[in-house]
Amino acid sequence: MNSQMDKNLIFDKSRSGRRAFAQAPFGGEATAIPASLLRSDRPRLPEASELQTVRHFTRLSQMNFSIDTQFYPLGSCTMKYNPRACNALALLPEFAGRHPLGPVSHGQGFLSCMYELQEMLKDVTGMKGVSLTPMAGAQGEFAGVAMIKAYHDSRGDHDRTEIICPDAAHGTNPATATMCGCTVVEVPTGPEGDIDFDALKNAVGPKTAGIMLTNPSTLGVFERRIKDVADIVHGAGGLLYYDGANLNAILGKVRPGDMDFDVIHMNLHKTFSTPHGGGGPGSGAVGVNNRLLPFMPIPVVGKREKNGEDYYYWLAEDDIPQSIGRLSGFMGNSGVLLRAYVYMRMLGRAGMLRVSEYATLNANYLAARLRDAGFELAFPTRRASHEFIVTLKQEAKVFNLTAMDLAKALLDKNYHAPTTYFPLLVPECLLIEPTETESKETLDNFVTAMIEIATAAKEGAQFKDAPYSMPVRRLDDVKAARQLDLAYRPEET
């Protein structure tokens, strides 16, 4: 990456009167809108030619690491290859141009894909119903907990307001519980990464609405006593929520429905390879068992026969009257759903299983190689799932090499860093997820880079100032928060 890149703002390139003239209608008539409703100032949007704009944003793109350009082992994010066909086919003109409120007569193609996607997701999760509307994992979580609440309320069980979360849970889990008007009861993790069973038994009771679990957990290990966990929570009258962040680890092998989960969200941008896009769009479809079917968010796509042919249509308020309601203006991130549909069809039944098998193979291989090279695994007695944790506790203490330092040093070696300092309970933690689409050579080269950095640190090198080869050096986060500069306002500088 070239550190001498042009880093000017698009506003620096603006000149009064310049623009991409082919992109908007010529002229423009006077309007019949009263002056009191009109704007009188001139907002500062860029004034640049088409070439300047294209060059500027192309240049900016080159300042990013991405899956297409670098190995990106960001734990918990499943940064696998995003097949190009998924994007191209979702953007076919008829799909891209379809108005969300267009009639079903002009939507049978789109709706049939959505219906089949629902059916495939039911199959891979072992659930009885799927709603595609949640727009990201966090909204899927919201939908899930809201359904759990609606279920209890429908039974007059209004006191169930506690959501149990393991201490290793993603931050979205407790944040979601709060958004649903619940309080959070945290349960600790045992020494081998399973949930602390006695603590769980003490945590459940008549106020338990449910538990939110990721399995394999955020610690990269499978919760072995999941059936017992389910029995305890169900026994206390609570429901089980499955956070699908790590579904890639068990795809086609184990199904959350078979583990007795009542509701699950899937991150289609992880498991089903829709793009991460520099922070979205995600897609957080939810699956439910029979108990929660009446509460699914709307709309859902239905199918019936009409004139001897399949006919697809919307299921809405009248069809699902106890629904928790609508979570988006239309039907969620529909274009993302099309991409997931294409990906799933290309994987096919057998391909689903291969995903979890090779994701797990890659993680265990990388873990074994790093362990053999002297890195400490957080859970050395356990199999890795599709991801695993290295702790730099020792390196930090003895050689002053922290997880942050190693992450930044990896950037200089042209690798994106693993997830750092999450889960919070493992000190100096690197959560590493290679995904199934990376080759053995890539993993081997990554191990070499890790060894080189650790060796250099042991020989006295410090990485406090890394990275050196990026467009910028390490950034002053404190200044960013204290002297807020959130928009370009030249008159104020």
Partner 1 sequence: MPFIPHTEKDTREMLEAIGAKSIDDLFDEIPEELKIDSLQHVPDAVTEMEISRLMRQRARMDGSPMCFIGAGAYEHHIPTAVWDIATRGEFYSAYTPYQAEASQGTLQTIYEYQTMITELTGLDVSNASLYDGASALAEASLMAVRTNRRVKSGRILLAPGVNPVYEQVAVAIAGAQGLSFERLPADAGTGNIDFNALPDDREPVAVVLQQPSFAGTLDDVDRLADWAHAQGALVIGIVNPTSLALLKPPGQWGEGGADIACGEGQPLGVPMSSGGPYFGFMTCKQGHVRQMPGRIVGRTTDLDGNPGFALTLQAREQHIRRSKATSNICTNQGLMVTAATIHMSLLGFDGLASVAKASHANTTTLVDGLCDIDGVERLYGGPYFHEVALKLDRPVAPLLDALAERDILGGFDLSQFAGTHALLVCATETKTAADLAAFVAAFSDVMASDQRKHA
Site for partner 1 in 41-100 (CB under 8 A): 41-48, 50, 53-54, 56-58, 60-70, 72, 74, 77, 79-83, 85, 87, 89-100
Question: Cα separation of 121 and 286, whole Å?
Answer: 9
Question: Cα separation of 116 and 105, whole Å?
Answer: 18
Residue 413 φ then ψ, to 5°:
-95, 15
Among 131, 248, 271, 334, binds partner 1 (CB under 8 A): 334
Among 200, 211, 226, 266, binds partner 1 (CB under 8 A): 226
Contact code string over 117-156 relative to partner 1, x by CB under 8 A: --xx-xxx-x--------xxxxx-xx---x--x-------
What is 424-452 written as a DSSP string?
Answer: TTSTTEEEE---TTS-HHHHHHHHHHHHH
| CA diameter of the chain | 78
Minimal distance in Å, beta carbon 437 to partner 1? 5
Minimal distance in Å, beta carbon 398 to partner 1? 25
Among 127, 285, 288, 344, binds partner 1 (CB under 8 A): 344
Q: 2 or 397: whose CB is closer to partner 1?
A: 2
Instruction: Based on the shown chain and the rule CB under 8 A, indicate whether residue 451 belongs to the binding site for partner 1.
Output: no
Looking up tokens 């394999």 gives 216
Among 128, 188, 234, 357, binds partner 1 (CB under 8 A): 357
Binding region for partner 1 (CB under 8 A) out of 195-203, 236-244, 286-294, 352-360: 352-360
Q: How many C-beta atoms lie closer than 10 Å to residue 242's C-beta? A: 29
Instruction: Based on the shown chain and the rule CB under 8 A, indicate whether residue 479 belongs to the binding site for partner 1.
Output: yes
Minimal distance in Å, beta carbon 173 to partner 1? 8
Minimal distance in Å, beta carbon 443 to partner 1? 8
Instruction: Based on the shown chain and the rule CB under 8 A, indicate whether residue 333 belongs to the binding site for partner 1.
Output: yes
Question: Cα separation of 351 and 253, whole Å?
Answer: 11
Site for partner 1 in 159-178 (CB under 8 A): 170-172, 174-178
Among 201, 207, 224, 291, binds partner 1 (CB under 8 A): 224
Instruction: Based on the shown chain and the rule CB under 8 A, indicate whether residue 445 belongs to the binding site for partner 1.
Output: no
Q: 398 or 478: whose CB is closer to partner 1?
A: 478
Among 152, 265, 382, 413, binds partner 1 (CB under 8 A): 382
Residue 241 φ then ψ, to 5°:
-105, 130
Instruction: Based on the shown chain and the rule CB under 8 A, indicate whether residue 398 belongs to the binding site for partner 1.
Output: no
Site for partner 1 in 298-317 (CB under 8 A): none
25 preceded by a cis bond (ω within 30 of 0): no
Among 197, 311, 314, 365, binds partner 1 (CB under 8 A): 365
Instruction: Based on the shown chain and the rule CB under 8 A, indicate whether residue 103 belongs to the binding site for partner 1.
Output: yes
Question: Cα separation of 240 and 234, whole Å?
Answer: 8
SS3 80: coil
Instruction: Based on the shown chain and the rule CB under 8 A, indicate whether residue 327 belongs to the binding site for partner 1.
Output: yes
Minimal distance in Å, beta carbon 237 to partner 1? 20
Q: Between helices 440-458 and 334-372, what is the axis angle to 10°? A: 50
Among 348, 380, 397, 455, binds partner 1 (CB under 8 A): 348
What is 142-199 written as a DSSP string?
Answer: HHHHHHHHHHHHHTT-TT--EEEEETTS-THHHHHHHHTT-EEEEEPBPTTSSB-HHH
Site for partner 1 in 8-37 (CB under 8 A): 9-11, 18-20, 22-29, 31-34, 36-37
277: left (phi over 0), alpha (psi -120 to 50) or beta: left
Q: 185 or 457: whose CB is closer to partner 1?
A: 185
Among 305, 459, 477, 491, binds partner 1 (CB under 8 A): 477
Instruction: Based on the shown chain and the rule CB under 8 A, indicate whether residue 102 belongs to the binding site for partner 1.
Output: yes
Return the ∠ at Cα 88 (arms to 84 and 94), rounded to 5°.
165
Question: Cα separation of 245 and 134, whole Å?
Answer: 14
Helix (H) or strand (E) holding 88, with range, is helix 84-90
End-to-end CA distance of the chain: 30
Q: How many C-beta atoms lie closer than 10 Å to residue 276's C-beta? A: 21
Instruction: Based on the shown chain and the rule CB under 8 A, indicate whether residue 205 belongs to the binding site for partner 1.
Output: no
Question: Cα separation of 413 and 250, whole Å?
Answer: 31
Looking up tokens 């939908």 gives 143
Q: With CB under 8 A as the rule, give the number of residues binding partner 1.
A: 204
Among 148, 180, 204, 406, binds partner 1 (CB under 8 A): 180
